[in-house]
Structure 1
Amino acid sequence: MNFWGWFVGGFLVLGLGAAGWQAFQPTPAQTAQGHSMVPPDTSDIPQGAPIANVSLPAELSSGAQMGQRAFEAKCAACHGENAAGQNGVAPPLVNKIYEPNHHSDAAFLNAAQNGVRSHHWNFGNMPPIEGLTKGDVKLIVAYVRELQRANGIN
């Protein structure tokens, strides 16, 4: 066989291999269903209503109190009062999906600074949040983590 015969044959083998590999990949629906942290079904919750029932801690630390004020100013419009989420708008941050061993504090910082592609919920991508410093986000995370602990999410 000449050079072009080997070239065309190799190209066909690579193409068939790629098509075969792609055929065995799970679909996005299969991937979401197989995820260990599947978001709850929100179809019975009215649009804009809170998604989570959030129990408040008896007392917040001083850092979490400052974080609460920053959260209310920059985050609550989407993530709802006390980070309970809003159906059709944004997810609750008081949810097992956002526990510290799955979404680190740095993940919250990254999301606030750079935005984040939707990957657990179907509310669309989160844009970067203007006007928040790293210090602000750390205080917001302290607030969210205290809410999470008060709701059994460690």
Structure 2
Amino acid sequence: MARKFLVISAVLSVVVLGVLAWARFSPEESGPEPGAALVAVSVPEMTGAALEGAVLFKTNCAACHGENAAGRNEFGPPLVHKIYEPGHHADPAFLLAAMRGVRAHHWPFGDMPPVEGVSEQDVEKIVAYVRTLQRANGIN
């Protein structure tokens, strides 16, 4: 009985050591580079408020939320994402976030500070841009 226990213990020890060695020496999977886009975004033709919003977004939002609202790894989340669909984050949520800032609650990027220098009308145009991108990417 003692011999059987020793054999089973030895086999289990070898298996555990093998798993640990494999985990230590296997190549690590790396995520996207810092600043890389987090989602792929199809960009439709823009007109009117959405076109104006694209310019405002690039100036005021893209540093964190990425080009075409695709997010930026280690900086900010993509806005072309199901989390930001109108039924979950209505248009006024964007206005409040821009004007007051917002505590982190869906993503690990930290709190969003208020965006200095944008008016309510600017945010409305930015939202028109983001919603246009969302619709073009199947987010309604």
Unaligned segments of structure 1, at least 5 residues:
1-42
**Where does residue 46 of structure 2 map in the other structure?**
60
Instruction: Report % sequence identity.
Output: 61
Deviations 1:62-115 (A, max 9, x none): 110000000011001111100000000000000000000000000000000000
In the TM superposition, 1:29-108 aligns within 5 A as 44-57=31-44, 59-108=45-94
Task: Say how many residue pairs are matched.
Answer: 111
Alpha-carbon distance in structure 2 between the residues aligned to 1:90 and 1:68: 17
Counterpart code for 2:47: S
**Where does residue 118 of structure 2 map in the other structure?**
132
TM-score in terms of structure 1 length? 0.71
Question: Displacement, 1:44?
Answer: 1.9
Alpha-carbon distance in structure 2 between the residues aligned to 1:68 and 1:50: 17
Question: Displacement, 1:45?
Answer: 1.5
Calculate the aligned-residue CA RMSD, in Å: 0.8
TM-score in terms of structure 2 length? 0.78
Unaligned segments of structure 2, at least 5 residues:
1-29
**Where does residue 19 of structure 2 map in the other structure?**
none
